[in-house]
Amino acid sequence: MNRSTESLAESLSDLFSENVTVDHQQSSEQGGVNVTIAEIRYRSSDAESESSRRVRQTVAVLDEEIHLPYVAMFPHRKGILGAVFSAIGGMNDVNFDDSPKFSADYLLHAWNEKAVRLLFTPKLREYFSQHAGWSLRGNRGRIAVFQQGRVCKSEELDEFVNASAEIFRLIREGEQELDRHPEINREARVQDAYAAAENMGGIAGRILRNELDRIALSSDEVRQFLAQPVPRLDIPSGMHRQVIPDVKMLIAMGIVFTVAGVVVPILIFLVLQGNDRLFGIPFAATFLLAGGLMLFFSIRHGRRKYRLLREGTVHTGRIERVERTNTEINSRRRYVLHVTYDVDGQSRQTTANVYSGIERARSLADQNAAVRVLVDPQDEKHVLCVDSLVIT
């Protein structure tokens, strides 16, 4: 896979929140719009859309500079299944009173509703109303359109390119409309997530609101936390939940494995005779090792994070880039922040794993903005970028 294909696969993986593979791609120009056409595949992990299935489809990607808010659009579910998902709540749906057909045909998901309402001009909504079956994913500098699960044959590509170029032309008009309203932020903030939760309703909306209430920090809480003398004794609950992982389950599993590694071999020794008792040896070794490692690493990881919050020194730094990984922990994607910071006039470079605040981190990286970095006094490579946390 060449560098261009790798870059496209990485950006599409971010857009689709899946591990996307690009099988082949080609560039095209239609009516002054530069388009990349690619055939992609991934395994869908969306429990609401035919969970865990392989997807192959042709996508068109705008190959020009653009700046968009996060947006996802796909055809509305119909019938009983659609009614069930509407009752449960899944994604907030931006509807337009002056475009009833568009709102009936498509679910338009956005965290920043004001920005997306400007982006989706009447002309763009009218196009989608007249051309059913399209889906769209856009965020920051990348946008892709496609028809879910459709792989274009060679004789269908010209029509697909023409339609995609027209959509992108209308999207660019929407971006120009956004440019005329600089007071509207394109980056989603915590307040936007709360508003989206209200719009979602149902079970999913309540879950999102509860999670935001549980982890969100106020700017005053962060400022007061950093102003404390070391060791800091008052750690805000939201910061504690965002930074220090909940390892109770791993600890419990470690204890279970360790106990099993002791008790089961004893039972084998008491019940069996002769050489049959030797079966207890590999069982004991395997379970004791697994349980011990679970306990060691979970406790060590939690203690390191706790030490970072209590004793970490504050420095000024910058986020150089945000790297997406293929690793998920508790259904949360792991990203890596590449961070530089200064200590006594000398520059240091390190990385930090993060599972939330990704859009904020990317915005800070794009702006080359100064950020507050908390550095572990016992390990200068162990840091926390405070400004990438979920802060209201």
Mark 138-159 as b/e (b = at least 16 C-beta within 10 Å). bbbebbbbbbeeeebeeeeeee
**β pairing state of 371-376 and 142-146:** unpaired
Locate the domains of the chain by residue range: 30-35+57-179, 248-307, 312-388
Distance CA 106, CA 131 (A): 11
The pLDDT of residue 52 is 63
Q: In this predicted structure, what is the pLDDT of residue 1?
A: 54
pLDDT at 163 over 50: yes
According to the model, what pLDDT value does residue 82 have? 46
Residue 312 makes CB contacts below 8 A (sequence gap 6+) with: 230, 374, 375, 376, 377, 383, 384
53-62 β-sheet, strand order: 21-30, 33-44, 53-62, 142-146, 135-140, 68-75, 106-110
With a pLDDT cut of 70, the percent of the chain lying above it is 91
Q: What is the CATH number of domain 312-388?
A: 2.40.50
Q: What is the pTM of this model?
A: 0.76
Kind of pairing between the strands at 53-62 and 68-75? unpaired
pLDDT band at 2; cut points 50, 70, 90: low
3-state secondary structure of 379: strand
pLDDT tens-digit profile of 106-130? Answer: 999 988 889 999 999 999 999 999 9
Tell me, what's the pLDDT at 81? 44
Decide which of 120 and 364 is more confident: 120
Task: Give the end-to-end CA distance of the chain in Å, rounded to a whole number.
Answer: 41
In one-letter notation, the amino acid at residue 33 is V
Contact (CB, 8 A) for 115 and 69: yes
**What is residue 294's predicted lDDT score, i.e. its pLDDT?**
86
The number of helix segments (H) and strand segments (E) in the chain equals 13, 12
Q: One-letter amino acid identity for 34?
A: N
Greater model confidence, 328 or 324: 324
pLDDT of residue 80: 45
